[in-house]
């Protein structure tokens, strides 16, 4: 277990900023109580670690909006299915803590599964309709794990603000709804998807890709770009836009899990676009599952 640890940054980077690191939920909660008593607002950025610029962009949003910033690094076992990559999920705790420290995070929360889900843990939060399609269709129980861990993190950190990425758009929609439905009283701030210069959405899982698989994966942002262009030119037909997307993905040997054009709020499938819509894609390049999306707004 990590206790409180203090470290001093390189002086020319951030004078006197000391990030605390803890794995203990009670310690995080006690720290948060002190902050709340002092009238500070707390922003939290949940992550599974192996941090990249996408995560850091969310940390910057949190620093801009919250007085105090908590970042969690937790590869949450309850959101992984039995045949998924829980065991081999990439990890680099030391590198991550350095990045969080330089970004100005106040507390890095790095819990162990046993302290998040102690013996006898018995209560889960499960979305209904919003979790049934898209990633929910192929990853049963995934959003149940996500909702449960986010609720735990919000309570442990006593956060006022929750910063999430649009990269995981279904997750963002489901968590927003959970907060509203359960009166959790937390404001959700969404950060735009950060991409590599060639358009690939940043993801910790990109590390798994070989050079060839990475080149194939570029068909995903290419498909989204082509659909966005066609939409901007006035095409509102979902079947035609889908045809463009699937044609683009077919140019490379990706294993497409889904391509959907849905209402951006309800996530229900559409036939014609009359309001804010989303195109979402999930596909495997080699054995690596990638997701990406693009808003199609009138």
Site pattern 52..81 for ligand AMP (x: CB under 6 A): --xx-xx-----------------------
Map the footprint of ligand AMP across residues 13-52, applying CB under 6 A: 47-48
Q: CA 44 to CA 58: how far, in whole Å?
A: 9
Told to check if 168 binds ligand AMP by CB under 6 A, we report yes
CB of 292 to ligand AMP, least distance (A): 9
Among 21, 22, 157, 203, binds ligand AMP (CB under 6 A): 203
| Structural contact between residues 67 and 40, judged by C-beta atoms closer than 8 angstroms | yes
Tokens of 271: 């036939």
Nearest to 281 by CA among 252, 257, 248, 255: 257
Which listed residue (191, 206, 279, 288) binds ligand AMP by CB under 6 A?
191
The DSSP bridge partners found for residue 280 are: 260, 293
Per DSSP, 193 falls in state: P
The separation between CA 211 and the C-alpha centre of its own chain, rounded to angstroms, equals 24
Stretch that binds ligand AMP, among 94-102, 122-130, 194-202, 209-217 (CB under 6 A): 194-202
Q: Smallest distance from the beta carbon of 16 to ligand AMP, in angstroms?
A: 28
User: Mind telling me the catalytic residues?
Assistant: 55
Of 164, 227, 245, 262, the one binding ligand AMP by CB under 6 A: 164
Please state the closest distance from residue 3 (CB atom) to ligand AMP, in A. Answer: 24
Alpha helices in 91-141 (DSSP H): 93-103, 113-116, 135-138
Locate the DSSP E strands across 166-231.
187-191
CA distances from 179 to 119, 139, 187 (A): 26, 22, 8
**CB of residue 230 to ligand AMP, shortest distance in Å:** 24
Give the nearer residue to ligand AMP in terms of CB position, either 165 or 221.
165
Three-state DSSP class for 274? coil
Binding site for ligand AMP (CB under 6 A): 47-48, 54-55, 57-58, 164-165, 167-168, 191, 193-194, 201-204
């Amino acid at each position: 277990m990590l206790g409180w640890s203090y470290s001093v940054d390189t002086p020319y980077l951030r004078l006197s900023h000391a990030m605390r690191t803890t794995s203990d939920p009670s310690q995080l909660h006690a720290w948060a109580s002190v902050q709340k008593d002092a009238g500070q607002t707390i922003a939290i950025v949940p992550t599974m670690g192996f941090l990249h610029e996408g995560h850091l962009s969310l940390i910057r949003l949190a620093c801009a909006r919250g007085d105090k910033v908590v970042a969690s690094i937790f590869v949450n076992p309850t959101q992984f299915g039995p045949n998924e990559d829980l065991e081999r999920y990439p990890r680099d705790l030391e590198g991550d803590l350095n990045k969080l420290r330089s970004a100005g995070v106040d507390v890095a929360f790095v819990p162990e599964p046993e302290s998040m889900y102690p013996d006898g843990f018995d209560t889960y939060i499960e979305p209904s309709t919003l979790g049934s399609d898209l990633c929910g269709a192929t990853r049963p129980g995934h959003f149940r794990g996500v909702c449960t861990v986010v609720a735990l993190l919000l309570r442990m950190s006593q956060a006022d603000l929750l910063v999430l990425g649009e990269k995981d758009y279904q997750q963002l929609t489901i968590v927003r709804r959970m907060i509203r439905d359960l009166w959790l009283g937390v404001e959700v701030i969404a950060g735009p998807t950060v991409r590599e210069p060639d358009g690939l959405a940043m993801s910790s899982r990109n590390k798994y890709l070989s050079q060839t698989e990475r080149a194939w994966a570029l068909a995903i942002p290419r498909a989204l770009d082509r659909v966005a262009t066609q939409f901007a030119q006035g095409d509102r037909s979902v079947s035609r836009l889908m045809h463009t997307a699937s044609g683009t993905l077919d140019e490379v040997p990706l294993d497409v899990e889904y391509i959907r054009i849905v209402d951006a709020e309800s996530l229900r499938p559409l036939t014609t676009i009359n309001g804010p819509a989303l195109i979402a894609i999930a596909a495997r390049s080699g054995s690596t599952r990638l997701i990406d999306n693009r808003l199609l707004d009138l």
